[in-house]
Amino acid sequence: MIRGRSRWRELSVSLRDHCTLANRIRSQFYSTRPKAPPVIFSGIQPTGIPHLGNYLGALKQWVKLQNDASPDTTLLYSLVDLHALTTQEDPDQLRQWRRDMLAALIAVGLNPDRSIIFYQSKVPAHTELMWILSTNASMGYLSRMTQWKSKLDLPDDSSPFDAAVKMKLKLGLFSYPVLQAADILVHRATHVPVGSDQSQHLEFARDCANGFNHNYGPVLVAPDTLLSPAKRVMSLTRPHLKMSKSHTDPKSRIMITDSREEIERKVKSALTDSVSGISYDPTGRPGVSNLLEILFHLQDDHDQASPQELAKIYEALSMRAFKEQVSGCIEHHLRGIRDAFASLVRGSDRKRLDEAMMLGTNKANQSAQQTMDSVRNAIGL
C-alpha cells in the first residue's frame, strides 16, 4: 500500500513537471510569436445628428485615434442600429437617424478609406455570433449588468425574476450585452475605447471570449480596454445633468449642425450664476465650470493643462463677455463640420455618403467572415 502511494506520488510529480514544461514552452511560443496588428472597434447608436457632448465625448476621440494610429492598425466604427431596436422607434425616423449619423461621422473627420464605417445590421455575422455566445452566456452574469436596470429606471438590486420586472423587461434589452460582445469579438478587436461607465460591458465581452476559448480552443480575441478621457459635457440649462437629446428643452444642448446664431443664443441663455468673475468650481459653480470644460476640450493642442488653468485666463471677464468667448470658440470649431454635414446630406456630396456605406459594409463583412469561419469550424458547423 505504501509502495502504491509512493508510486502515485512519483507519477504526480512527473505529471506536474510535464505540465510546467509544457506551460513554459507555450509561454515562450506566444512571447516570441509576432503580435497581430491592433484592431480598434467602437460603436454608436444612430440617434440622429450628434450634439456637442457626443462629439467631445466620443467622436473627436475617434478621429484622433484614426489620425494617430499606425498604418497597420485596423479601425472599425459601427452604427449599432440593431441595438437601437431595444427602444421602439418610428421606422422612417430610424432610417433618417441612421443616415444622419453616418453623415456626421464623416463630417467630423472619419475617413471611409482609412476607417471601416458601417451599419451593424448590414453585417449578419454580428447576430450569428451573438446567438452562439448566448448559448453559454450566464443568466446570473447578465442579471447583474446595469444596462437594463438603468434603461428601465430600476434599483441596482433588481432581479429579472421579480414579478414586477418580468412585465417590463424584454429579452432584447436583457441580452443587449451579448450582442455588444459579439460586435467586438466578431472583428477580433484588440482594443475598445470606452468610458469608465462602460467597463462592465467590455469585461463581459472578455468573459465571453475566454469562455468560448476554454471550450473550443483559442479562436476569439479577448480585447483590452482603451480608456477614453472623461469628457462629460453637461446640459446648458441644467448643468448637473449630462447633455442629452432626451431633455425637453432644445436650448440645453448644442448640435454639431447648429448655426452661429443658434450657438450664440444657446450659450447666452446657459444657466450660470451671479458671482463676479470666472472660476472653475464644478460643485459651487457648475454652469460656469461646464462652459470652461467645453472650452478646454475644444482645444486641439491643449495649451492649458486643465480647466482650472484656463479659468485664470478669463477670470477678469464679465459673464457676458465670457459667454461670447465660449460661443465664438464653439462656432469656430463646428463651422467646418456643419458645412461638411450639409454637403453630405443635401448637397453635392450625397453620392459620397452612399459610396462610403457600401465600402464600409463590404470591408466589415470581410472582417467578420474571417472570424465566423473559425468559429463555425470550432463548434462543428
Q: 87 and 218 share a domain? A: yes
114 in a structural domain: yes
Q: 336 and 373 share a domain? A: no
Residue 313, judged by CB atoms within 10 A of its CB (0-12, 13-18, 19+), counts as middle
Tell me the CA distances in angstroms from 290 to 165, 182, 286, 328, one per residue in order.
Answer: 36, 36, 6, 16
Q: Is 312 a catalytic residue?
A: no
Q: 298 and 265 share a domain? A: yes
Residue of 122, 168, 231, 245 marked catalytic = 245
Q: Is 35 a catalytic residue?
A: no
Q: What is the mean pLDDT of residues 13-30?
A: 43
218 in a structural domain: yes
Q: 261 and 297 share a domain? A: yes
DSSP letter at 84? G
Q: Is 149 a catalytic residue?
A: no
**Can you give the pLDDT at residue 196?**
60
Q: 222 and 315 share a domain? A: no
28 in a structural domain: no
Q: 206 and 91 share a domain? A: yes
State pLDDT tens for residues 43-72.
Answer: 999 999 999 999 998 999 999 999 999 999
Please tell me the distance from the alpha carbon of residue 119 to that of residue 225, in angstroms, as a whole number.
23
Residue 279 belongs to domain with CATH number: 1.10.240.10
> What is the helix (H) or strand (E) element at residue 312, kind and residue range?
helix 307-314
Instruction: List, in sequence order, the alpha helices (H) in 76-175.
Output: 91-107, 125-134, 139-143, 147-151, 163-168, 171-174
Please tell me the distance from the alpha carbon of residue 6 to that of residue 14, in angstroms, as a whole number.
12
323 in a structural domain: yes
Q: What angle do CA 246, 252, 254 make, to 5 degrees?
A: 95
Domain that holds residue 159: 39-232+348-379
Residue of 122, 242, 251, 268 marked catalytic = 242
The percent of residues above 90 in pLDDT, for the chain, comes to: 66
Q: 338 and 363 share a domain? A: no
Q: 179 and 47 share a domain? A: yes
Residue 135 belongs to domain with CATH number: 3.40.50.620
pLDDT value at 18 more than 50: no
State pLDDT tens for residues 293-352.
Answer: 999 999 866 666 789 999 999 999 999 999 999 999 999 999 999 999 999 998 878 889
6 in a structural domain: no
21 in a structural domain: no
The band of 26, judged by pLDDT with boundaries at 50, 70 and 90, is very low
Q: 363 and 283 share a domain? A: no
pLDDT value at 13 more than 50: no
The band of 230, judged by pLDDT with boundaries at 50, 70 and 90, is low
Q: 263 and 338 share a domain? A: yes
Q: 304 and 206 share a domain? A: no
DSSP letter at 233? P
Let me know: does 124 contact 371? Beta carbons within 8 Å: no
Let me know: does 77 contact 117? Beta carbons within 8 Å: yes
151 in a structural domain: yes
Place of cell 449630462: 242
Residue of 151, 168, 251, 268 marked catalytic = 151
For 276-284, the CB contacts below 8 A with 24+ separation are 277/315, 277/316, 277/317, 278/311, 278/314, 278/315, 278/316, 278/317, 278/319, 278/322, 279/311, 279/315, 280/307, 280/308, 280/310, 280/311
Domain count, the chain: 2
141 in a structural domain: yes
